[in-house]
Structures are given as C-alpha cells and as structure tokens.
Amino acid sequence: MGKLVVTEFITVDGVFEDPGGAEQFEHGGWAFKFDRGPDGDLFKLEELRAADAHLLGRRTYEGFARAWPKMGGNEFGDKMNSFPKHVVTSSPLEPQWENSHVLEGELADGVSALKDRYDGDVLVAGSGTLVRALSALGLVDEYRLMVFPVLLGSGRRLFGETGAPRALRLLEARPAGACQILTYASAASD
C-alpha cells in the first residue's frame, strides 16, 4: 500500500503560491532566489524516485502539463513525464499530458483506491485546494515541506483556515542550502 505525500515549496509565512514564477503572482519566482543546494536537489530526486504517481488539482496539473513535456532528457524530467498523473477536477478535462487520468468519483474513495493500487508514494504538489480537502478528510500520510527563508506578506497560503486542529509528528528536519526540509507524519497515520 502506498502513502499519500504532500510535497511543497513554502515560505516561512506559509505562502506556496507560484514558487517558479509562471503564474503572474507579484512575488512569483521566489523559490529561485535561494539556493537549495545539492542536498535539496537530491531530496527532490529521491522523493520522485520513491513515487509511483502524482495526484494533482486541475490548476497545478495544467501548469505542469504546459511546462514538463519540454523538460525531458534527464532522469527527473523523464519520470515526471512518464509516470501516472491523476487529476482531481470538478469540470470536464481531456488530459493531454502523457499517462494522465481524471480521478473519478468521491475524493476519499479515489484516493483510497490509488493508495491500494500503488506500492510507492503518491505525491501531491501545489494543488492547495486539493491539499486542504485531503487534509480535512484525514487522507494525508506525510507532509514534506521545503521551507524557503522569506516572508512574502501576501499570496495564497497552503493551509489557510483548516477547520479543526490536526496533530502532526516531526519525522525529520534537515538543511538544504539556504532552505530547511521538514517532514511530518499525520498523527492519524500512526
């Protein structure tokens, strides 16, 4: 059985919006202003190697589908393009990106089926609305946050108003260049 892993680039003040600068956000591209070093690059590569699939919200999927097909020719890009991608959307979508599928039915049932289907991790990147829904349903097994040393003051925050408190258990904290990688397990997954 696989794990559902939320993996995010995030600022100290909780903003996850537009780390790469492709979304027209006034502070977009903030992640490129800091060196995550070889440790950060290796962490992201090992994370992808351990994954069997992506689960993405529609907005993140569309952004990834525009960018990643142009970035093959290396291990990371080739895996991003070839491995299964499952999209959560409430409106019709004909996925064009290689090996992409729309997740059908209720979110909890679909995610449970994905976790049963895959032995490796199912990664969720970006996809704030989806992350909040998965978290509220208690479906997230692990949160991996690469925290960048910046306070943006505005922008979409990953968790926002999350409803009831949820306990997390710190699994690991390690430096990655100017950043810090924090890995938490959901207390519900213990």
Q: Is the pLDDT of residue 188 over 70?
A: no
**Residues contacting residue 62 through CB under 8 Å, at least 6 positions apart:** none
Is residue 48 domain-resident?
Answer: yes
Is residue 189 domain-resident?
Answer: no
CATH code of the domain in which 65 resides: 3.40.430.10
**Percent of the chain, pLDDT > 90?**
78
* pLDDT, tens digit (0-9, with 9 covering 90-100), for 126-161: 999 999 999 989 999 999 999 999 999 999 999 877
Across the range 5-23, mean pLDDT stands at 93
40 near 34, Cβ under 8 Å? Answer: no
Question: What domain range includes position 25?
Answer: 4-167+177-183
pLDDT of residue 41: 94
What kind and span of H or E run contains 43?
helix 37-49
Query: What confidence tier does 183 reach under pLDDT thresholds 50, 70, 90?
Result: very high
Is residue 188 domain-resident?
Answer: no
Is residue 97 domain-resident?
Answer: yes
pLDDT of residue 118: 96
User: Which stretches within 124-188 are classed as H helix?
Assistant: 128-136
User: Which stretches within 50-167 are classed as H helix?
Assistant: 58-67, 75-82, 107-117, 128-136
Is residue 66 domain-resident?
Answer: yes
Q: Is the pLDDT of residue 70 over 60?
A: yes
Tally of domains in the chain = 1
C-beta pairs of 68-71 under 8 Å, 24+ apart in sequence? 68/97, 69/97, 69/98
Query: What confidence tier does 22 reach under pLDDT thresholds 50, 70, 90?
Result: confident
Report the distance separating Cα 131 and Cα 43, nearest Å: 21
Length of the chain (residues)? 190
Residue bearing tokens 């097994």: 141
Q: What share of the chain is helix, strand, coil (3-state, %, to 5)?
A: 30, 30, 40
